Structure 1
Amino acid sequence: MARRTGEENRRNILTVATRLFYTRGIRAVGMDTVVKECGVGNATVYRQFPTKDALATAYVEGRADAWFARMREAAGEHEDPRAKLIAVFEVLATDCAGSSYRGCPMLNTNTEFPEGKHPAHLVAVTHKQQVRDWFCSLAVKAGAEDPDRIAEELLIVLNGVYATAAVLDGGTYGTRGVDMARRLIADACPGT
């Protein structure tokens, strides 16, 4: 059996940790569980991630990057900036309706690490700020009179759907989120 490279080990560990942290929660999963599920030794895991905080932070960074990649891809299928914004909520609705949906990793991380200095918390906060800023830039392109306001309102809807869909019927609340976003965008960005 061929030995894995350091990068292959890192990806494997992060893939396993992502699954475990998302389904069970970061604090609920010990490093011993990650080691066991990865099928590698302690030294291999700790060589890549010296602490659980480092692994948790890498997990949150990975989820944030993946979110933007998926949403930008969906938005990129449209020319109209209003349709780009709506596309985000359509992807959200699909995600929330899935059987493996367990909430927003950023909101979950913020709940688990409310301490303002924890590196995973800081990544989650930065991600939400970047989402708001992206919404704002799309609102500017869509001709919104108050792009900051619509960006903030859309972020509230996004986070509200994420949180509510994790507790109640994800399909229903995902669809409601799309409807709310459409109304807000139509009101704020009437088009030319």
Structure 2
Amino acid sequence: MAELTDTVAKPATHAKVRILATADRLFYAEGVHTVGVDRIISESKVTKATFYKYYRSKDALIVVYLQGRDRLAREFFLSVDKRYDTPEQRLRGIMAEISTQVTRPGFHGCPFINAAAQFADPNHPVREAITAHRDWYGTSVEDLFRGMGHPRPGDAADDFVLARDGAFAGANLGDPIGAHTALLRSVQRVLNEAGG
């Protein structure tokens, strides 16, 4: 029986999935504007016709890339809800993950902030995907501050998101330890306002 399983070939990854995985890696590492369609096609090992069959344009692929990053963030928040009992513990868990991200090798900042810098029109589909993610993120953090009894949960969420954005930018610019430390200080001050 072991001989049979050893000889069974694994199915090839579907072209659509390969294109998106390649785009995700390249867009995050190098930026959405600097990576061209031809490079994505080449590194995905697909034809131009296959690329355009699944993604009608590079901008459409960027939107799907950002939606995938948004989905990962939402899944992370769900995992935090399952791992921690209180809103304060959940906020601290989110903060710990951010601190881990900004000090990890290969960290290139926030994919949403990076993409937003390259699309000025707020009505562009890429910016709409970014706005949807940031609205969800801010509301989710606000709900946690409200749950822990913060006197101004909206302001606290704004402060938290600003500290997170600053940590992402600071780490991306080359000072991950300083960014991590400043994030911890900033968020602790916001938590202290609610007795955290």
User: How far has the Cα of 1:87 moved from its partner?
Assistant: 1.2
Match among 176, 192, 195 for residue 190 of structure 1: 195
Alignment match of 1:47 (pick from 53, 62, 66): 53
Specify every segment of 5 or more residues in structure 2 that has no aligned partner in the other structure, as ranges.
1-8
| 1:75 positional shift | 4.6
The 3-state SS of whatever aligns with 2:83 is coil
- Does the CA contact (< 8 Å) of 1:104 and 1:162 recur in 2? yes
Name the stretch that deviates more: 60-69 or 178-187: 178-187
Q: Deviations over 1:77-106 (max 9, x none)?
A: 211201111211110110111111001001
Instruction: Summarize the alignment of residues 152-191 of structure 1 with structure 2, pairs less than 5 Å apart.
Output: 152-187=158-193, 189-190=194-195
Indicate conservation of the 8 Å contact 2:145/2:157, yes or no: yes
CA-based RMSD: 1.8
Cα distance in structure 2, aligned partners of 1:128 and 1:31: 27
Q: Distance in 1 between matches of 2:185 and 2:63?
A: 33
Alignment gaps of 5+ in structure 1: none
- Distance in 2 (CA, whole Å) between partners of 1:3 and 1:93 is 37
Asked which structure has the greater RCO (Cα within 8 Å, sep 6+), the reply is 1
1:180, CA displacement in angstroms?
1.8
Structure 2 equivalent of residue 143 of structure 1: 149
1:81 maps to amino acid = P
Provide TM-score, normalisation by structure 1.
0.91
Assess, with a 3 A threshold, how the Cα gap between structure 1 residues 76 and 31 changes in structure 2: closer, same or farther.
Answer: same
1:63 corresponds to which residue?
A: 69
